Structure 1
Amino acid sequence: MLDNIMVAGHQGEWDTNCAGEFRTIERSLAMGRLESNRYPDILVSEKKMKTIRTLGRDGECVDDKDAITTARRLLVEGTAYQVPETLKRID
């Protein structure tokens, strides 16, 4: 019914010293209101975080973080929830 959705992902590159760029995606799923004769919608809350780490003047690593939070609703079409490509895991 709900196939191929990614709920967490982490990726990044690092110079093995300090500098690097990292991305994290975290999603939580919740059932919407139950209505008669149909499946409930699934509510998806998503947080994307991007961290850029650089070497500061004092020789310490400095993180610059940016986070975006979004929400969307998945609906049933036929016998399955329609999962957009942007939410699917990569095989």
Structure 2
Amino acid sequence: MSLTDILRRSVDDIWSKIFRHPFVIELYRGSLPINKFRFYIIQDYNYLVTIYKCLSLIAAKSDPDIAEKALEIAYIDASTEMMNYRELINRLGLSMDE
């Protein structure tokens, strides 16, 4: 059994609760109210922005090998995720300032 399997099994109860959460169920069924979805998208976008800032701080304070990897992760993720979020935010009629 791999470490991943061991760790995953150790949180089975939490894992199943996540999939039974009303937000996830409504999102899956397509019945999530648009205002809840908009709020989620804004919060998730802000989370991503913060993660990229954190990765940049890690890079600034790390040895060159770790810095390179942190910046690589941030760049690869940001170049796709942020573009997708900006497009979705525009489609939902939201502003980047929200």
TM-score > 0.5 by shorter chain: no
Q: Normalised by the size of structure 2, how large is the TM-score?
A: 0.19
Give the strand-richer structure, 1 or 2: 1
Give the helix-richer structure, 1 or 2: 2
Q: Normalised by the size of structure 1, how large is the TM-score?
A: 0.20
